[in-house]
Chain A
Amino acid sequence: MKVIVDQHKCVASGQCVLTAPEVFDQREEDGIVVLLTETPPEHLTDDVRQAATLCPAQAIWLAEQEKQEGER
């Protein structure tokens, strides 16, 4: 799983940090998302997927999704 964030779309809600603090942080000055790791360990996959769902700005993607698409 590879995580991608779009800092231009991010609205600094912090939902991702609340959901997966091991993977996301926010910039001190404006709260914009910071990715702590692009390739989080397997056991965090559900949390990251949840963060992508809850992000109010569609600023988080999982590259793993692309793979699933191919498989379908």
Chain B
Amino acid sequence: MKRIAIVGASAAGLTAAETLRGRGWDGHLTLIGDEPRPPYDRPPLSKQILTGDRSAERAVLRSPHDLARLEADLRLGQPATALDVAHRRVHLGAGETIRFDALIIATGVTPRRLPDSDLAGVHVLRTLDDALALRAALLAGPRVIVVGAGFLGTEVAAAARTMGLPVTLVEPEPVPVRHPFGDRIGALVADLHRVHGTRLRCGTPVRRLRSTGGQVTGVELGDGTTLPADVVVMAVGSAPATGWLTGSGLSLADGVVCDAWCRAAPGIYAAGDVASWHNTHFATRMRLEHRTNATEQAVAAAGNLLGDAIPFAPVPYFWTDQYDTRIQAYGIFPPDADLRVISGDPSNGRFTAAYGHQGVVTGVLGWNAPRELRTLRRLVVERALWTTVTNTGPCPPLAGDRCRENIRPRTLGVYS
């Protein structure tokens, strides 16, 4: 194998490149990314960079020196426009073609937009430039509406609120972050926002944006009310960046469809937000938009490309920071899963909880309890029986109320 190309030069693409080199592969490596900036990290964009607690420079993932050490042909600012699987070629926007023997696809996702939203004052947040533009707009002291109360939307609302701005969070579901964490955790997240003075309009979809002379003036809701705004942030999800793969013959369905080894076709692998693969640990197909998955999957995909033949079967990890609260979770959270508080007290702002589905623990969640949560991860790794959690005694429904003090990790026997 003489030539490897990686398309997408962010968390996953960069890690794949470093993994190949770190394992001693010394062939010709091309790393192609459509963003002109050197690779940077996205999680701080909706947190410290928006609030100004961290400078944009600190989001950079690698120093120029570290990038040079990759000894890669680095093509930044150059989008891949097409893939020719049979002839082993990637076409670049500039008309050039890159030959490869093996390929890693790591193009991530692009934000969705509402229809007719090409207006001044309307923002999305995916790139560093998006974050800098939004921060500049927030510094003018606007009334802010965030459309979409998923993790991105709730984080942006929290950041804008922390800057002292009037913020309304609009969400068609009855509570924030209902997907994936369900109604009860969603209700706690709603409380968290209310306590900090963010207004919530849940259960009402957005009908359209209002504007005057190309400048957004507000958001019209499904029930006919119009909320005035100077800045509207659209956080309405994202779509895998697979446009350049149309017609390549690769299977595309909510991302690049891969097998359990992150392989999309012979010699072609995918990793990170763009990759859909079969996770054998949970016996299900998944695609994750999680920072740690981008890295872990890139390590796995690069390893399998080099011949490891190891299925990628991780326990997913995710975190979000909102105001002074850090929510972290391991595993998966099916919509019909049961939820139990394991330790602590939701009304005190510090607890852990477990999700049970089909008789086993599939996920654990920590609310300001990082260290404790890490010990509970084993419940998911070992597919602990749900009765391991529930047999510790009757536990009242969560709903933001107290749970029995004696339900602590140590009562989980071997798992603590």
Contacts and interface: CB of A to CB of B under 8 A. Distances in A.
B168 interface: no
Contact of A69 (B41, B69, B370): B69
A42 interface: no
Interface string A22-33: 000011101100
B371 A13 contact: no
A58 B317 contact: no
User: SS class of chain B's interface: helix, strand, loop or mixed?
Assistant: helix
A69 B68 CA distance: 11
Contacts of B369: 31
B69 A13 contact: no
A60 to B, nearest CB: 12
A17 B374 contact: yes
Decide if the interface of chain A is mainly helix, strand, loop or mixed: loop
Given A11-B43, A26-B371, A53 B292 contact: no
Contacts of B321: 11
A39 interface: no
A49 B18 CA distance: 12
B328 interface: yes
B296 interface: yes
B371 A28 contact: yes
A63 to B, nearest CB: 14
Contacts of A44: none
B61 interface: yes
B208 to A, nearest CB: 37
Contact of B295 (A17, A28, A30, A54): A54
A13 B328 contact: yes
A18 interface: yes
Nearest to A14: B374
A1 interface: no
A56 B69 contact: no
Interface in A1-59: 9, 11-15, 17-18, 26-28, 30-31, 49, 53-54, 56-58
Contacts of B61: 58
A72 interface: yes
Given A11-B319, A12-B326, A56 B291 contact: yes
A54 B297 CA distance: 10
B87 interface: no
Nearest to B59: A58
> Which of A12, A28, A49, A58 has the most chain B CB atoms inside 10 A of its CB?
A12
A58 to B, nearest CB: 6
Most chain A beta carbons < 10 A, residue from B328, B373, B374? B374
A56 B374 contact: no
A62 to B, nearest CB: 12
Contact of A54 (B41, B296, B328, B377): B296
A28 B372 CA distance: 8
Contacts of A69: 65, 69
B299 interface: yes
Interface in B1-43: 15, 18-19, 22, 41, 43
A28 B319 CA distance: 17
Nearest to A72: B69
B377 A18 contact: yes
Contacts of B41: 57-58
Given A11-B43, A13-B328, A72-B69, A18 B374 contact: yes
Contact of A31 (B18, B19, B370): B370
A47 B41 CA distance: 23
B295 A56 contact: yes
Given A26-B371, A72-B69, A13 B292 contact: yes
Contacts of A54: 292, 295-296, 299
B291 A26 contact: no
Contact of A53 (B15, B58, B370, B377): B15
Interface string B363-392: 000001111011001000000000000000
Return the 7 tightest CB-CB contacts between A and B, nearest first. Answer: A31-B370, A14-B374, A12-B370, A56-B291, A26-B371, A56-B292, A31-B371
6 contacts: A12-B319, A13-B328, A13-B370, A14-B371, A15-B317, A28-B371
